[in-house]
Structure 1
Amino acid sequence: MSRELSLNINISEPQWDQSTFAGRAKHFFMVTDPRNVLLSSKTLEEARITVENYRKGVVKPGLTEDELWRAKYIYDSAFHPDTGEKMVLIGRMSAQVPMNMTITGCMLTFYRTTPAVLFWQWVNQSFNAVVNYTNRSGDAPITMNQLGAAYVCATSGAVVTALGLKSLTKHLPPIMGRFIPFAAVAAANCINIPFMRQRELKYGIPVMDEEGNRLGQSSSAAKQAIVQVVVSRIGMAVPAMAIPPVIMNSLEKKAFMKRYPMLNAPVQVGLVGLCLVFATPLCCALFPQKSSMKVSSLEPDLQESIRKSSPHIDTVYFNKGL
């Protein structure tokens, strides 16, 4: 007879030690696995039921620990950690590699003309707006006006940066022009993410004790979370937008590529995808998903509240978002 699965497995936390970079990397290789995009609604729903039932102490007969962890990671790939809502498909972290490899590959291929720069920066920021909204921290709603402002500011910032740098690189070696998309994307991330999560900056995000008990809302925690996400996003873009241009600059001089110029875009997209498969999870792992900060670094009124209700607590935790 098979032994019934223990109820002591903590699936509220990742399977691997998140205090180490290696543990976080293993976790995010699972979360960002592009194959999860192909999972059916039925599979996602079965994973949700398995996870939610286990949390209630209900174990499906015959369920193994490996199957439980698999269900947990399928659940995490599609449902928001704070709201529990199913996330829009292209906003999920598992869609990052296929979506970004296509968009980034095209940005790096079609960078020479102004209309192409405008179009692909617009596509990229539209995608980023969806991702940033989908993976925001906390459970506070965001208005359409706030969404619109973030979208317009980020898109404008990316286009202005791209066109400005494009004009400056006219007299520089051709390879310099290939790095314009990266500079534009980096600038846009610094605008898009804070704007998309401006409500968190204004009203704060939930902070908890080590056991997950909610202690209040903190704007200071939101600032730390957003800075960490911006750094991670820019880090993701570095390999995908810095390595392929160098390789393509060399390949385009070869007779084979000159004979078949239509291969330029597919090869560039493939190179970007190869970089993103590793860069996406590794850069997500730069900072713990369950981030922390000292109580002494919180807002004075929240510090006072925590010290009155829980004087033994000196560190709070929060979901930094992705």
Structure 2
Amino acid sequence: SREREAQAGRLPGCRGAAAGMEPNVRFWIAEPQSFVRRFLQWTELLDPLNLFISVENIEKARQLLFTNEDASGHALEYQTIREAWKRSLSTVHPDSGRPIPALFRPAAFLPFTMPTVFLSMMPAKGMMSVVLPQVSLYAYTTAFNIINGNESYSRQTPESIVLGAGVIASSTFFGLIPYLIQMKYSLDNPWIKRVLPVALLTHVSAMNVFASRGFEPIRGIEVMDKEGNVIGHSRRAGRKAVQETAISRAVLFGTSALIPEVFASFFKRTQFFLKNPRSLWTAKLSCTVLMMGLMVPVSFSMFPQIGRIQCSNLEEEIRSSTEETELFYNRGV
């Protein structure tokens, strides 16, 4: 029954998919377009234990999904298939079908970015204390964006390296602007000391996505029908995919940086802080961990992993090559 299939990881939509269709694409196309459902799914996929899944276990899970397109059998079989879906969705790129390097799997995003976001929002105590968090943050997010972006367009490794290096350098420079202003002019205005770094982090995080995935709107990404058949490459779909990811990243970092700053401003007025001034560091760190722990699955869930776009909004050559009214594309993470 469909109810029993839903209990096995919400897989009923996988029925009737085209033979040989990438399992991850098959899953996300079938997944209901609900923010709550996507959020619950991402809370499972962001499990830190997914970082330690071996290539051998990934291959076994993928083989199970390729040979069991219909969920049927006993409860044990349902649990096995559900675990296979979790391993595949959390470790395999839906475009290439290859395992994602462990350090850049979605589950690694929070552990690697949270410390750098926290340190980048701390008061500057010297040039190195400002530069290192910014370089670390944008080096990781740039590599993460490139690796987890759309891979259905043609690209060469050297150009990806050159692009990544340029994006890291420019993102770091813009991220340092508020701190350089403070260090040069010794400004004590709270708007410059607190609000400007948050605003720059939000803006630069979004622009980092646009820059690191800049080839997608230029060269176009694959669009497919509901059976997984590729119809063509669309620059408009590539632009939509990058825009959606940039918005989600701006919401993630903007909220994760703003709320701890607001919390800290109120915490400083409490009697506990007056008696224990060093407790601000711990309180702000705890707030950052809490907010980012919540906002990472929220941001990843804001838009579907496999996006939908009306065929009428695509290029003429794509509209003329299909009778479908709605096509699909991989948004990336």
Find the aligned partners of 1:270 and 1:314 in 2 and give their Cα distance.
Answer: 48
Q: Contact 2:91–2:99 (CA<8 Å) still a contact in 1?
A: yes
Partner deviation per Cα, 1:21-50 (whole Å, 9 max, x = no partner): 11111122122233423x342xx5324312
Q: 2:209 aligns with which of 170, 190, 193?
A: 193
Displacement after TM superposition at 1:124 (Å) = 0.9
What is the TM-score when the length of structure 2 is the normalising length?
0.80
SS in 1 for 2:27: coil
SS in 2 for 1:207: strand
2:329 matched residue in structure 1: 318
Find the aligned partners of 1:113 and 1:106 in 2 and give their Cα distance.
Answer: 13
SS in 2 for 1:109: coil
Residue type matched to 1:315 in 2?
E
Q: Contact 2:222–2:234 (CA<8 Å) still a contact in 1?
A: yes
Structure 2 regions of 5+ residues with no counterpart?
Answer: 15-22
- Aligned pair 1:177/2:193, yes or no? yes
Find the aligned partners of 1:260 and 1:25 in 2 and give their Cα distance.
Answer: 38
- Of residues 284-293 and 11-20 in structure 1, the stretch that sits farther from structure 2 once superposed is 11-20
Displacement after TM superposition at 1:20 (Å) = 1.3
Q: 1:29 aligns with which of 43, 50, 56?
A: 43
Find the aligned partners of 2:45 and 2:89 in 1 and give their Cα distance.
Answer: 7
The 5 A counterparts of 1:79-98 are 79-98=92-111
Find the aligned partners of 1:250 and 1:113 in 2 and give their Cα distance.
Answer: 26
- Aligned pair 1:104/2:117, yes or no? yes
The 5 A counterparts of 1:120-269 are 120-140=133-153, 141-142=155-156, 143=159, 144-160=161-177, 163-164=180-181, 170-173=187-190, 177-252=193-268, 264-269=280-285
Residue type matched to 2:96 in 1?
T
Give the count of matched residue pairs: 309
SS in 2 for 1:80: coil
Q: Contact 2:61–2:88 (CA<8 Å) still a contact in 1?
A: no
What RMSD, in angstroms, separates the aligned Cα atoms of the two structures? 3.1
Residue type matched to 1:149 in 2?
G
Residue type matched to 2:45 in 1?
V
1:290 matched residue in structure 2: 306
Identity %: 20
Q: Contact 2:244–2:303 (CA<8 Å) still a contact in 1?
A: yes
Q: Contact 1:108–1:268 (CA<8 Å) still a contact in 2?
A: no
Structure 1 regions of 5+ residues with no counterpart?
Answer: none
- Aligned pair 1:74/2:87, yes or no? yes
Q: Contact 2:267–2:280 (CA<8 Å) still a contact in 1?
A: no
Q: Contact 1:150–1:196 (CA<8 Å) still a contact in 2?
A: yes
SS in 1 for 2:95: coil
Residue type matched to 2:56 in 1?
E
Displacement after TM superposition at 1:8 (Å) = 7.2
1:52 matched residue in structure 2: 63
Displacement after TM superposition at 1:212 (Å) = 1.1
Find the aligned partners of 1:52 and 1:201 in 2 and give their Cα distance.
Answer: 33
Residue type matched to 1:241 in 2?
A
Find the aligned partners of 2:30 and 2:284 in 1 and give their Cα distance.
Answer: 34
Q: Contact 2:13–2:31 (CA<8 Å) still a contact in 1?
A: no
Q: 1:271 aligns with which of 287, 301, 315?
A: 287
Find the aligned partners of 1:183 and 1:34 in 2 and give their Cα distance.
Answer: 30
Find the aligned partners of 1:76 and 1:31 in 2 and give their Cα distance.
Answer: 7
Find the aligned partners of 1:71 and 1:79 in 2 and give their Cα distance.
Answer: 12
